[in-house]
Homo-oligomer: A and B are copies of this chain.
Amino acid sequence: MGNCMDGIRNSCDRQKNTNIKSSLPAVCFVWQLSMIILFGVFVRYNVESDTHWVEHKKKDNITSDIENDFYFRYPSFQDVHVMIFVGFGFLMTFLKRYSFGAVGFNFLVAAFGIQWALLMQGWFHSLDYNDGKIKIGIENLINADFCVAGCLIAYGALLGKVSPVQLLVMTLFGVTLFAVEEYIILNILHAKDAGGSMVIHTFGAYYGLSISWVLYRPDLDKSKHLNGSVYHSDVFAMIGTLFLWMFWPSFNSAIADHGDGQHRAAINTYLALASTVLTTVAMSSLFEKTGKLDMVHIQNSTLAGGVAVGTAAEFMLSPYGSLIVGFFCGIISTLGYIFFSPFLEEKLKIQDTCGIHNLHAMPGVLGGIVGAISAAAATKTVYGDEGLVNTFDFKGSFANRVPTIQGGYQAAGLCVALCFGIGGGILVGLVLKLPIWGDPADENCYDDEIYWEVPEDEEILEHNTDTSL
């Protein structure tokens, strides 16, 4: 084993310098210090998380602490938090020798990203113009987690082929692009996107795919033997799958309107996801020789319904509408893994480790379309007079907007997400192509040995042999 590791180390020294001893600590320290300074200048508690809440309550005749937004959103926030760190992290542990990188770099990227997101989103959405400070509360924490989800989706395309420094750079730019894109879609276009089909999934997926396209590795076959799973790594990945699947109703309802908005978003997501599982299993079985199931599909395509119902989750999509969305997503996503992923790699030169095109890109676009159609089809009969205004926020400068127009703006929002994803991804991909980031050689991709101290698993077998003598 000693020889083996020396062998790998020598061979990679010959070709690529993956030593990140100076770059990784430097980047982490500089960025964390910058965060502290920027937070010191800009970020304060909002009225509901500040000790002045007690006075605010009296002034506004709020009779109970339970009216604090914390109690409306905290349970959903914690579920979203689990999706970001355990869900995304463990979903990517399926590779036989990249589980440390999957769960560890996911952790690093998310922890950095949420801080930067609080600032970027704060400037756009939570700036108090009286004192120039960003005022944060529980909703900001949820939005920061959402923002980071976009970058973690992108990581799925790059898994195993980039260095942690590249991931941090990708996240810095990704969060920035996200905040601008989100501002355009939600505030300028006034599109609705509670679960982020467009803002999070479409953007994140095309951002990652575009970067992967720029970073195309023609000789990636050299590490083909590591681009696969072992039995227990597939079980680990199911932890990620299930926590994503179970908590997705919280994801889509976390920042929806208080009351019926959150309630309905949870129901719609629950139903869409249930439907997706059945069609995923059906398609997976249909395209294998003896009807066996493929873990790749079960781990990923079962989640597509949650992506696709994101935008419309708080609309009156109706229960059967949610089932229909889930139905098609399971089919499309599984077909994507079977037919489209190989095509993407061979013809379009996009190497997509986790198949985010099938899990996030296609279902995200579908979700944007479903959102546009269901917004355009909204009527006062179905929503009620007040319900329509509340659901689509036809207030203030948008008081005159009608559903059909709203549908158009929803569609425009989808285009913005696509443009930011593809355009941003290409630009950031070019930055990441610079030969300074310590990325692995082709034969060392998908291998934790490069960036982690990996324990020697053989020892235990040897020991057993020893003691049994």
Contact = CB atoms under 8 A, between A and B. Distances in A.
Contacts of A222: none
Interface stretch (A153-161, A315-323, A342-350, A393-401): A315-323
Contact of A263 (B49, B75, B274): B49
Interface stretch (A195-203, A230-238, A354-362, A425-433): A230-238
B451 A281 contact: no
A402 to B, nearest CB: 16
CB-CB nearest 8 A-B residue pairs: A51-B387, A21-B291, A65-B259, A111-B277, A53-B260, A4-B468, A28-B282, A39-B320
Given A32-B279, A138-B263, 10 more contacts: A24-B285, A32-B275, A45-B260, A54-B260, A71-B71, A86-B243, A107-B242, A107-B302, A230-B457, A234-B455
- Total identical chains: 3
B293 A453 contact: yes
A442 interface: no
A242 B87 CA distance: 10
Interface residues of A, number: 158
B103 A238 contact: yes
Interface in A46-86: 48-55, 57, 64-72, 74-76, 78-79, 81-82, 85-86
A213 interface: no
A85 B386 contact: no
A315 B383 CA distance: 41
B70 A453 contact: no
Nearest to A101: B293
A33 B104 CA distance: 41
Contacts of A469: 3
A22 B291 contact: yes
Interface string A81-123: 1100110011001001101100110011001101100100000
